[in-house]
Structure 1
Amino acid sequence: MESIRSGHIDTPPSAASVRRSPENAPTPSTESVALPAPQEPELSSLAKQLSAAVDRAAARDASLTRKELGALAGALWEKIAGQSYYFSKQSYDEFVPDTNDPSLLERAKQATAFVNGKGDNPFKALGREELSAIVYDQADVFTVNERHAAWKEINMRECQWTRDICQKLDAERQLTGRIDNGQREILAYYQSLPPIEEAKLIGSYKINSSIQGADFEIDWPEFNTSLLDMLANNWGHAEEEVEPDRTGKPDANLGKTPD
């Protein structure tokens, strides 16, 4: 009352200004809080297919002899990049995978567009092992045009490698008069390829890594040849991709030297 008479009203302190004593402070909970487990990212359809294809390739390579692997590689290559491919190309272009997965349908469509000169290669970012697994896969998971697109990416890289190694050989020859380092690099490159590709390139013969003489000739059971000859035979015309004449008539330009 005295404070009212004097014109001064005492008000209680606000809740914000009240200091809690330590005994009144809330105590932290000792119970552990279960955090949600981090979710692993879902693999894409391509990633799943590639993983399975690489596993199949490993099992195939382990079950076949080198000669069998080379023969299989040649037969599979003929279907996806040889004359057999071009003779059946229209059916491959019209083929639509039996799936409802939009990503698989779109990839098949993109591969067909690419092999016909339109758009990008859907496999251009893949590694050599994955590309090889697609090209030589026998599970009918990838369309023929997809396998052809994967082969074209391999072929493009081979062309670039061939140009690079030839430049190295030329530079080394001019500098030292020899090409020892370049031929070692060629040998190492062939030995680094996926087994089915190496078997296709050199047939049923195991490269003897010992280097013989100044020409680095490789001693194979039936013949001797230099690594440079093998390079020229396999990749000398790698950049040329000519669709065969379906009429069966001989090419008028066959055997002619280009101007």
Structure 2
Amino acid sequence: MAKNTFNELDSGHYTANKSKHDSEVPDTDNAELLARAKSATKYTNGLGKNPFSGMPRDQLALITYDDSGTFTVNERRAALEESAKQEFAWRQKVVAEAEYEYNNTGKLTKFFQSVLDHYKGLPLVEQAQYPDNYETKLQEWIDLDFNYFTHIAEGKNKLDIENFVSKVLTGNSSLFDNATSSK
């Protein structure tokens, strides 16, 4: 479902059908819904504000993944873009916190907990895009409370924290493979 949605909203398919999407109008007489659809079309064309700006992630997911025709394609794309914007802001914050934690303690335990809490708060359709054992692996790392300075980094040698954190956030399968060590 997620792959189909991304193919429809965030690919060459969307661009190839842009004029069709721009002319799409919801099947309603409700002036507020019509105005929101018009606003989403303006936004997807770089004109104006995203009508879904600041909306909670669960509501954004309901719009993004709704293929019933209730929302126009441009509304769904605007909701997807707002969700991505919120995810990016969260990732920037959590990466800064992870770097601080690592540099001060040699650990990433709080980082893993933040990632797990964030994951659990995602709509189920978004959780489904992560590896099956994502939650389990994060919990293992939290429970391990591993100090990378004293056991893996052997002193003050720095782990490539940015690369590691990026792999955790994107659900890189190499980290979540069952054969991979929990360190």
TM class, shorter-chain normalised? Answer: 0.7 to 0.9
Partner of 2:109: 180
SS of residue matched to 2:128: helix
For 1:92 and 1:195, the matched residues in 2 are separated by 27
More helix by share: 2
1:110 to 20, 39, 44: 39
Letter aligned with residue 146 of structure 1: E
1:170 to 99, 104, 108: 99
SS of residue matched to 1:118: coil
CA contact (8 A) 2:39 2:50 kept: yes
* 2:135 matches 1:207: yes
Unaligned runs of 5+ residues in structure 2 are 149-163, 173-183
1:123 to 45, 52, 56: 52
Tell me by how many angstroms 1:102 deviates: 2.0
Partner of 2:2: 73
Bigger shift: 123-132 or 78-87?
A: 78-87
CA contact (8 A) 2:27 2:70 kept: no
Identity of aligned residues (%): 31
Tell me by how many angstroms 1:232 deviates: 4.5
For 1:197 and 1:157, the matched residues in 2 are separated by 14
For 2:57 and 2:171, the matched residues in 1 are separated by 21
1:15-164 matched pairs, under 5 angstroms: 72-164=1-93
1:233-248 matched pairs, under 5 angstroms: none
Evaluate the alpha carbon distance shift between residue 93 and residue 203 of structure 1 in structure 2; reply closer, same or farther with a 3 A threshold: farther
Task: State the Cα deviation string for residues 105-130 of structure 1 (Å, max 9, x = none).
Answer: 21111000011111111111321111
Task: State the Cα deviation string for residues 72-113 of structure 1 (Å, max 9, x = none).
Answer: 122122212233222212210122233332222211110000
1:230 to 168, 173, 180: 168
Runs of 4+ off more than 6 Å: none
**What do you get for the CA RMSD once the two structures are aligned?**
2.3
Who wins on radius of gyration, i.e. which is larger?
A: 1
For 1:87 and 1:188, the matched residues in 2 are separated by 38
Letter aligned with residue 19 of structure 2: Q
Letter aligned with residue 210 of structure 1: Q
Letter aligned with residue 207 of structure 1: E
Unaligned runs of 5+ residues in structure 1 are 1-71, 217-225, 235-259
CA contact (8 A) 1:113 1:119 kept: yes
For 1:78 and 1:94, the matched residues in 2 are separated by 20
Evaluate the alpha carbon distance shift between residue 74 and residue 230 of structure 1 in structure 2; reply closer, same or farther with a 3 A threshold: farther
For 1:177 and 1:78, the matched residues in 2 are separated by 41
For 1:227 and 1:163, the matched residues in 2 are separated by 11
For 1:111 and 1:156, the matched residues in 2 are separated by 15
For 1:233 and 1:119, the matched residues in 2 are separated by 33
CA contact (8 A) 2:26 2:69 kept: no
For 1:203 and 1:144, the matched residues in 2 are separated by 28
CA contact (8 A) 1:132 1:151 kept: yes
Q: How many residues align?
A: 153
For 2:24 and 2:165, the matched residues in 1 are separated by 41
> Which of the pair has the greater relative contact order for Cα pairs under 8 Å at 6+ separation?
1
For 1:148 and 1:206, the matched residues in 2 are separated by 27
Letter aligned with residue 231 of structure 1: L
Letter aligned with residue 110 of structure 1: S
